[in-house]
Amino acid sequence: MKKIIFPLLLLTISFSCSKKSENNNIAQQKDSLKTADSLRIAERNDSIRTLNSKNRFKDFSGNHRFTYETQAFNTISGTVTFDKIEGERDNYNLSGSIQSGENSVSIKGFVQVVSPKHMNFTGEITQKISVNDNGKPYTRKGTKTFMSKNGGKTYRLQDMVNGSGFVDYIDIHF
């Protein structure tokens, strides 16, 4: 009888120990699968984020010529800077100015390129032109559209009438 009980006891202990280690292995495998799935999801999200931040249209980053023209005098020019907003598609911070004697134009705001021919600008464009209300500042605020009619070489502000009722041409050249 002792010969039978002792081997049965050993057999029972060995089976119970091996089941626990199998359960531990299964739990570890599940944890490692969860970790691998999390890493795959994170990589996929990063690749989607990268794709969503790529421009659909031309990259306008950098310095460009900025001009002001009216019937009263010749064109004056300055520069404007487009700074791409990291992680966003076709969005830029925009700032620039034109200075010529007493005359000045400044622009500061945000630009979103919405098509190859259209840019939506949100911000302020302030001009002080000596022939318009004796140089009194005039500010355009809000969202304005710049449109190109020459294949994207020049974008012209579509809100062309200034505070004095005269037409201004404010252009960005690429």
In terms of Cβ atoms closer than 10 Å to its own Cβ (0-12, 13-18, 19+), residue 118 is: middle
Mean pLDDT of 6-26: 58
Q: What is the pTM of this model?
A: 0.71
pLDDT tens across 38-76, in order?
Answer: 656 656 665 666 666 688 999 999 999 999 999 888 899
Buried b (16+ CB within 10 A) or exposed e, 52-69: eeeeeeeebeeebebbbb
Select the more confidently predicted residue: 46 or 100: 100
CB atoms within 10 A of CB 96: 19
Select the more confidently predicted residue: 13 or 78: 78
Determine the pLDDT at residue 135: 87
